[in-house]
Amino acid sequence: MSTSFVNPTVERPFHRIAVVGLGNVLLGDDGFGPLAVEMFRSLYECDSKVEILDLGTPGLDLAPYLYDADLVVIADAVHPREEETPGTLCVYCEDDLGSSRAQLRLTSHDPGVQESLAQLRLAGHAPSEVIVVGVVPESCGLGTGISLSVLNTCFAAVDTNARLLVERSIDCRRRYAPLQRSLWWLSGEHGRRDGFDS
Amino acid sequence: MARISIDPVTRIEGHLRIDVEVDGGKVQKAWASCTMWRGLETILRGRDAREGWVFAQRFCGVCTTVHAIASVRAVEDALQLEIPANAQYIRNLILIAHALHDHIIHFYQLSSLDWVDIATIPKADPARAASIAEGYSSWPGNSRRELEAVRSKVKGMVDSGQLGIFSHGYWGHPAMRLRPELNLILFAHYLQALEFQRKACQIVGVLGGKTPHIQNLAVGGVMNAINLNSLATFNMDRLGMLQSLLQELIPFVQQAYFVDACLLSASYPEWFRYGRGVANYLAVPDLPTDAKATQFDLPGGLIMKGDLSSVQPIQNWRDQAFRSSVAEDVTHAWYKGEGAQTPWKGETDPDYTDFQADKKYTWVKAPRYNGQPIQVGPLANVLVGYASGHPLTRKWTDTAFKIISSVHDSGAHGFNLTPEELQSTMGRYLARAIRSAMLSDLALQHWQLLTNNILKGDDTTFNPPQFPSHECEGVGMHEAPRGALSHWVIIDKGAFTNYQAVVPTTWNASPRDEKGIAGPYETSLISNPVVDPSKPLEVLRTVHSFDPCMACACHTLDASGRVIARVKVL
């Protein structure tokens, strides 16, 4: 596992922090990002400056959500490097993104993260720090659902999110009682519910 | 004869492959192929019809709200369920804000670099650029200081040789003709556009609860609680917040984007002669102004063979001709079955054969209207509006023509343009800007309609749906940023038994049909110039003019398919 955490030496005044989930919930493990941020919202209570966002697969539409943020933590499915098995947790810092070290999964919405960041940088509104908390997917075929290996890693990913915030002196505490989760795409009951006049 | 294969076409949403045969500097034959399978609708079968929109919203990461709205409209149509006026206005405002966001991204981030040569910007004179820009527009972002800052930023990038995301552009291509000052103005707005995309997202967020995936929809209306006396609900504060966001966003659209599209048009007049393609146009009515959806602020209609006087209106969403005229043909698409089928009976059983130009070569089906190929998009929207005498369309089209004729600059000389000439590559760019300027006016009008209705004391937003025990079918229409979208549903006991989405990019990226008739992308490329087959910039200009978004037209076949862009010259 890559542990390229950046230890900030100076405490910065934070204005906006975004915890972002990327991926398509209709493509199996590609839905890791949305799952991870929803679990994070349910398990942790954060400073009001922390926005928790399920952004799906926004392509270049990602830029407005990263605009002027101090810190962005992105949960996403990533391409495995040689030896990594499905469910491996990978943490990357921004410098890794431009190199061959981190390969974000190509969704149907390339270009995405790197292009959005490059544009924001040129416009002078790039986030100060970007960290990717990634997982190696098992299957990204058409259909809802998440594989067990990825689901198991999800809890570790959520705790990593929290640790990254705490390390930067951003208020983030485990909730005494988790909030209700909205994992609508994983609910098993399809179709018919109540409310018919038949 | 050179055969060029561009795979994938970059700066679009999704994966598209274009093959062209070039002879004598012109395209002779063209094929559009989508390299990703589509089977999203199978996910909807068997699901609760009230929840369909939540899933449909994930068809595409860019057109989220678009599919959500078409989905609830389809179910409401099947149930013949009327929704409250407040719900119409709230939905309309979401649709407008999303469309403005989408059109801004298309013009600047996805396509301007086909026309703007960044490499010349260091040579630009910012003072001169500022005086040119200020001659056409009162946009505050055109100051000399602002333009000087952008110039030095670009100069630093060019001097260092580190072009980053811009390193793949066709810089110095002979077809790039803007003078350095115009390149600077447009690129300055390219960078400013990011701030206004953010404002458009905030508008969707205020109304929809969240963005990009809105939370406030329901079959039967919207879930926004309206109570002027409660802080926690939709109240005067929210309305005020919306109004100020709109007032911040609209000047960028009308004074920067719209004017830039006019300047670009005036600088590349020959691009009003290329890229006409299929000249049958379809736009569906949208932005209803009453609960029953009998009146619309965007007119729908059909124009055949490029003859504006032939416009036949589509009055409302229950139009019977529309329902019986749309069919999808799979002769040249990688699906089982033959010929054309109404979407209500549509199937999506894959039958992959590899790229065979004379047989099957794409994952996109071929939609047809009474057997004819159709072009959809902002151009269709503007032509139908203009032809039917829609005042706002006329106002902004005429304004654009006036600006274009007034341009007098060393690189560009104004000329008179007619609505007929909009049927072209540049016409599609200009039409999108005309539509955006018009939608900006409509945003304020619909904000006013909503506010007046609430002040009148109407706080209803939802009529509960009742599902019959028998099977029913419906169509949900939306004039989306890329054109006419329709969701076709069959519902039995409250659950979907079939679901088909006929999306704008399917109309435009359509392959040949049973009779061998090609689709809009394919025909628009014929006779397109190609100066240098190893740098087919001109092909990209025409393809990008449609704003391709392949994600919902088809989907990933191989999730890890890492194709590296290649241009193959045979």
Confidence (pLDDT) at B229: 82
Q: How far is CA A30 from the centre of its chain?
A: 11
Cβ–Cβ gap B61/A27 under 8 Å: no
Cβ–Cβ gap B105/A114 under 8 Å: no
In chain A, what residues touch B36 (CB-CB under 8 Å)?
A: 108
Distance CA B92, CA B265 (A): 30
Residues B218-243 have pLDDT tens digits of: 999 999 999 888 877 888 899 999 99
Q: Which of B36, B157, B212 sits opposite A56 (nearest CB)?
A: B212
Share of chain B above pLDDT 90, in %: 75
Residue B468 touches chain A, beta carbons under 8 Å: yes
Cβ–Cβ gap A197/B48 under 8 Å: no
Answer whether residue A103 shows pLDDT above 80.
no
Q: Which of A107, A114, A196 sits opposite B467 (nearest CB)?
A: A196
Question: At B151, is the secondary structure helix, strand, or coil?
Answer: helix
In chain B, what residues touch A192 (CB-CB under 8 Å)?
A: 48, 493-495
The residue type found at B184 is: L
Cβ–Cβ gap B550/A108 under 8 Å: yes
Q: Which of B43, B198, B560 sits opposite A143 (nearest CB)?
A: B43
Cβ pair B540, B551 in contact under 8 A:
no
In chain B, what residues touch A54 (CB-CB under 8 Å)?
A: 210, 213
Task: Find the residue in A nearest to B45 (Cα).
Answer: A191
* Phi and psi, residue B240, nearest 5°: -65, -40
Task: Find the residue in B nearest to A196 (Cα).
Answer: B467
* Phi and psi, residue A33, nearest 5°: -60, -55
Query: DSSP characters for B487-514?
Result: EEEEEETTEEEEEEEE-HHHHHT----T
Residues B407-427 have pLDDT tens digits of: 987 667 788 999 999 999 999
B 154-213 residues with CB below 8 A of A? 157, 164-165, 191-192, 194-195, 197-198, 200-201, 210, 212-213
Residues A141-198 have pLDDT tens digits of: 778 889 999 999 999 999 999 999 999 999 999 999 999 988 888 865 433 333 333 2
Cβ–Cβ gap A123/B10 under 8 Å: no
Residues A10-58 have pLDDT tens digits of: 456 788 999 999 988 888 898 999 999 999 999 999 999 999 999 988 8
Q: Which of B39, B40, B62 sits opposite A58 (nearest CB)?
A: B62
Answer whether residue B554 shows pLDDT above 80.
no
Residue A13 to chain B, least CA–CA distance (Å): 22
Cβ–Cβ gap B551/A111 under 8 Å: no
- What are the residue ranges spanned by the domains of chain A? 17-170
Confidence (pLDDT) at B338: 79
Task: Find the residue in A nearest to B40 (Cα).
Answer: A142
Answer whether residue A116 shows pLDDT above 60.
yes
Cβ pair B503, B553 in contact under 8 A:
yes
Residue B153 touches chain A, beta carbons under 8 Å: yes
Residues B436-492 have pLDDT tens digits of: 999 999 999 999 999 999 999 999 999 999 999 999 999 999 999 999 999 999 999
Cβ–Cβ gap B61/A57 under 8 Å: yes
Residue A170 to chain B, least CA–CA distance (Å): 23
**Among candidates B171, B75, B128, which has minimal Cα distance to B499?**
B75
**Residue B497 β-bridge partners:** none
Confidence (pLDDT) at A77: 87
| Local confidence band at A104 (pLDDT 50, 70, 90 cut-offs) | low
Q: Which of A65, A140, A196 sits opposite B493 (nearest CB)?
A: A196
B 421-460 residues with CB below 8 A of A? none
Please, what is the Cα angle at A103 between A100 and A108, to 5 degrees? 140
Write down the pTM of the prediction. Answer: 0.92
Residue B269 touches chain A, beta carbons under 8 Å: no
Q: Which of B157, B210, B466 sits opposite A197 (nearest CB)?
A: B466
Size of interface A-B (CB pairs under 8 A): 151
Q: What is the 3-state secondary structure (H, E, C) of B219-250?
A: CCEECCCECCCCCCCECHHHHHHHHHHHHHHH
Residues B245-278 have pLDDT tens digits of: 999 999 999 999 999 999 999 999 999 999 999 9
Answer whether residue A81 shows pLDDT above 80.
no
Q: Comparing B72-86, B169-183, B369-383, B554-568, which segment has the lowest mean pLDDT?
A: B554-568
Residues B332-361 have pLDDT tens digits of: 998 888 788 899 998 878 888 888 888 998
More confident call, A190 vs B530: B530
| Local confidence band at B521 (pLDDT 50, 70, 90 cut-offs) | very high
Question: At B568, is the secondary structure helix, strand, or coil?
Answer: strand
Residue B190 to chain A, least CA–CA distance (Å): 9
Cβ–Cβ gap B105/A30 under 8 Å: no
Confidence (pLDDT) at B411: 67
Number of domains, chain B:
1
Q: At what angle do helices B85-105 and B236-251 cross, to 10 degrees?
A: 30
In chain B, what residues touch A67 (CB-CB under 8 Å)?
A: 194-195, 198
Residues B15-73 have pLDDT tens digits of: 688 889 999 899 999 998 876 656 677 889 999 999 999 999 988 778 899 999 999 99
| Local confidence band at B161 (pLDDT 50, 70, 90 cut-offs) | confident
Cβ–Cβ gap B58/A26 under 8 Å: yes
| Local confidence band at B111 (pLDDT 50, 70, 90 cut-offs) | very high
In chain A, what residues touch B466 (CB-CB under 8 Å)?
A: 195, 197
Element (H, E) at A113: helix A113-123
Provide the ipTM: 0.85
Answer whether residue A108 shows pLDDT above 60.
no
Answer whether residue A117 shows pLDDT above 50.
yes
Confidence (pLDDT) at B352: 83
Q: To which residue do tokens 């068997």 refer? A: B46
Cβ–Cβ gap B556/A27 under 8 Å: yes
Q: What is the mean pLDDT of the segment spanning B204-212?
A: 93
Cβ–Cβ gap A197/B495 under 8 Å: no
Residue A106 to chain B, least CA–CA distance (Å): 7
Q: Which of A55, A109, A123 sits opposite B551 (nearest CB)?
A: A109
Distance CA B29, CA B20 (A): 6
Q: What is the mean pLDDT of the segment spanning B318-332?
A: 95
Answer whether residue B570 shows pLDDT above 50.
no
Which residue range is the domain that position B207 belongs to?
A: 2-569
Q: Which of A56, A119, A137 sits opposite B61 (nearest CB)?
A: A56
Confidence (pLDDT) at B217: 97
Residue B248 touches chain A, beta carbons under 8 Å: no
Class of domain A17-170 as given by CATH: alpha beta
Cβ–Cβ gap B194/A123 under 8 Å: yes
Residue B182 to chain A, least CA–CA distance (Å): 18
For the domain that residue B546 is a member of, what is the CATH number?
Answer: 1.10.645.10
Cβ pair B568, B33 in contact under 8 A:
no
Query: DSSP characters for B533-562?
Result: TTS-HHHHHHHHTT--B-TTTS--SSTT--
Cβ–Cβ gap A58/B61 under 8 Å: yes
